[in-house]
A and B are shown apart, each in its own frame.
Chain A
Amino acid sequence: MFENRRLLRVLRRTVVQAVPTVLGIVVLNFLLLKLAPGDAADVMAGEFGTATEETMAMLRRQFGLDLPLLQQLLAYLGNLVQFSLGFSPRYGMPVSELIGQRLPSTLMLMGLALAIAVVVGIALGTTMAMTAGRWTDRVLSVVSLLFYSVPGFWIGLMLIVLFSVKLGWLPSGGQETIGAGLTGLDAVADRLKHMILPATSLALFYVAIYGRLTRAAVLEVASQDYVRTAAAKGLAPLTVTLRHVLRNALLPVTTLAGIHFGGILGGAVVVETVYSWPGLGRLAFESVMRRDFNVLLGVLLLSSFLVIIANTLIDLLHAWLDPRIEVR
Chain B
Amino acid sequence: MTTAAPLLDVADLTIAFPTGTPVIDFGFTVAEGETLAVVGESGSGKSLTALAVMRLLPPAAKIVAGAIRLKGRDLRALPEPEMRRVRGREIAMIFQEPMTSLNPVLTVGRQIAEVLRLHEGMSAPAARARTIELLDLVRVADPHRRVDDFPHRLSGGMRQRVMIAMAVACRPRLLIADEPTTALDVTIQAQVLDLLDRLRRDLGMALLLITHDLGIVGQWADRVVVMYAGRRVEQADATRVLDDPLHPYTRGLLAASPRLDASLHYSAGPLREIPGSIASARGQPGCPFAPRCPLAQPSCRIRPPPLAAVRPGRLVACPVTTASELADVAAVGL
Contact = CB atoms under 8 A, between A and B. Distances in A.
Interface of A: 224-226, 228-236, 243-244, 247-248, 321-324
A228 B58 CA distance: 10
Interface in B88-144: 88-89, 92-93, 95, 97, 100-106, 114-115, 118-119
Pairs A-B, 7 closest by C-beta atoms: A234-B88, A234-B87, A225-B100, A233-B88, A226-B103, A323-B150, A234-B84
A324 B100 CA distance: 14
The CB with the most chain B CB atoms within 10 A, among A229, A230, A232, A322, is that of A232
Task: Say which size band chain B's interface belongs to.
Answer: 20 to 34
A324 B152 CA distance: 7
Most central of A228, A234, A323 by chain B CB within 10 Å: A234
**Chain A residues touching B, majority SS:** helix
B89 A232 contact: no
Given A232-B54, A233-B88, A235-B114, A225 B97 contact: yes
A233 B87 contact: yes
Nearest to A133: B59
Interface in B140-187: 150, 152, 163, 166
B96 to A, nearest CB: 9
Contacts, number: 69
A254 B166 CA distance: 31
B143 to A, nearest CB: 19
Q: Name, among A233, A247, A324, the residue most crowded by chain B CB atoms within 10 Å (CB to CB).
A: A233
B11 interface: no
B86 A226 contact: no
25 contacts: A225-B95, A225-B101, A228-B56, A229-B103, A229-B163, A230-B103, A231-B56, A231-B87, A232-B54, A232-B56, A232-B87, A233-B87, A233-B114, A233-B115, A233-B166, A234-B85, A234-B89, A235-B88, A236-B81, A244-B103, A248-B103, A248-B104, A322-B105, A323-B152, A324-B105
A225 to B, nearest CB: 4
A318 B163 CA distance: 26
A226 B93 CA distance: 12
Contacts of A322: 104-105
Contacts of A235: 84, 88, 114, 118
Contacts of A228: 56, 95, 101
Given A234-B89, A234-B118, A322-B105, 11 more contacts: A225-B97, A226-B104, A229-B101, A233-B87, A233-B88, A234-B87, A234-B88, A235-B118, A243-B106, A243-B114, A323-B150
Nearest to A236: B84
Given A322-B104, A324-B150, A229 B95 contact: yes
B80 to A, nearest CB: 9
Contacts of A243: 106, 114
A225 B163 CA distance: 12
